[in-house]
A and B are shown apart, each in its own frame.
Chain A
Amino acid sequence: MNLLDGLWGVLDLLLVAVLLLLAVAAVLSSDRRRSMMLFIVFGLVLALVWARLHAPDIALAEAAIGAGLGGALLMATLRRDTHQQTDRFPQHPALVWGAGVLVMVLGTAIAWGLLSILPTVEQTWRKGAAVDAQLAFSGVSHPVTAVLLNFRAWDTLLELAVLLAAILGIRALGYVRATYVTEAAFSQLAVWLVPLLILMAGYILWAGAHSPGGAFQAGALLAGAGILLRLAGYSSAGLPTARWLVRLGLVAGTGVFLLVGLGLLGWGQGFLHYPVAYAKWWILLIEMLATVSIGMTLTLAFMGGIPQKEAA
């Protein structure tokens, strides 16, 4: 038992050391391309840390959204025509070190404050017991999904609104010249991977009701399929060619969520207070449409908006 605990301690120290080294290297490396690569690997190690801290939902989301899509988005900003891009800190070394010392002092102060109140967390902040007590009335059996779609559904609605605002901003900026190349080799890969990704998205969405998973991870997988199609040379990236259908898809997640909330309010239930008997179905409807919106939004974000000439 003691030996096993010791092994966990070694693993924790190793994970933290690798994570911190990758973060420092990603921030300090003077080569931009290397910095991006290091950041993507950092995301993957972070996914392992989430798994270690019993947060499988976040591990899934980090691997798919943080490292996967974030990496794809970063790589899309790389210019193909310039090979090495160096970004050193432009300031005087004394200022760089001074600023470093300053942020470390700030960090130490935050750590001291946080660690001194940590022992009181169990009595004061925890809402876990309240979640467990109400779980049976939420319509799902997975506590994280229950918090996201029922107990704090308001947060998730606003989150979908943020996603919508981001894609509206991206589209308002107009057509951006694509910097990625389409590869013929990808089209063969896409034939196999795209159906698999869509199938996995469906499974992850359904699994979210009772185990780790849900709309965000499923939407990220759909976006992965879209990006793969785009890289394989499909100009529409699997999105509908009719513009009104794309617009509808982008708004569906936020729109239906809001309509359900307002409908329940009109019914005398209170905003987003699902009647217990139907909670499961309302959550499933909202999650399905949110998955479509998230998938489309992230695919379009990778493409930099709808290319003007290519959209029919």
Chain B
Amino acid sequence: MAGLSAINPQFLYVCAGIFLFAIGLWGTWLHAHYVRKIISLNVMGAGVFLTLIAVAYRGENLPPDPVPHALVLTGIVVAVSATALALVIIRRLEDAANE
């Protein structure tokens, strides 16, 4: 237990964020189907958000930095609107292919 408390949460979550980015990049690159590319792209985005929020975190007893929080909030809304547009384009392409 004492060993585990030595893990710095900031370090852990920054690494997790970068790992998500790499996994997402891999999927975006290699998947052929567009919906799968979109999911992978969102995993990549989540990695960037996690890295930013981990940097904003300053431990249990200090308030986190609100500026990266605001940036990530903006980022989530932008990501979901880009996803929505992309998904409608995909549905349109599939409809056109079926006609």
Q: Which residues of A contact B (CB under 8 A)?
A: 2-3, 5-10, 12-13, 16, 19-20, 23-24, 26-28, 32, 35-36, 39, 42-43, 46, 49-50, 53-55, 57-58, 61-62, 65-66, 69-70, 73-74, 76-77, 79, 87, 89-91, 95-96, 99-100, 103-104, 106-107, 110-111, 114-115, 118, 121-122, 125-128, 131, 143-144, 146-148, 152, 155-156, 159, 162-163, 166-167, 169-170, 173-174, 176-177, 179, 216, 294, 297-298, 301-302, 304-305
A166 touches B81 (CB 8 A): yes
Sorted from nearest, which 5 A-B pairs have the closest CB atoms?
A: A6-B1, A9-B4, A107-B22, A5-B5, A301-B84
How far is it, in angstroms, between the C-alpha of A253 and the C-alpha of B92 when the chains are bound? Answer: 28
Known: A70-B83, A115-B11. A13 touches B88 (CB 8 A): no
Q: Which residues of B contact A (CB under 8 A)?
A: 1-2, 4-7, 9-16, 18-27, 29-33, 35-36, 38-40, 42-43, 46, 49-51, 53-58, 60, 63-67, 69-74, 76-85, 87-92, 94-95
A73 touches B87 (CB 8 A): yes
How far is it, in angstroms, between the C-alpha of A1 and the C-alpha of B95 when the chains are bound? Answer: 60
Specify the chain A residue showing the minimal Cβ separation from B43: A23
Chain A residues contacting B40 (CB-CB under 8 Å) are 27
* Interface residue SS majority, chain B: helix
Partner of A57 from B24, B43, B69, B83 at Cβ < 8 Å: B69
The minimal Cβ–Cβ distance linking B64 to chain A, given in whole angstroms, is 5
How far is it, in angstroms, between the C-alpha of A107 and the C-alpha of B69 when the chains are bound? Answer: 23
A27 touches B23 (CB 8 A): yes
Partner of B16 from A19, A54, A65, A90 at Cβ < 8 Å: A19
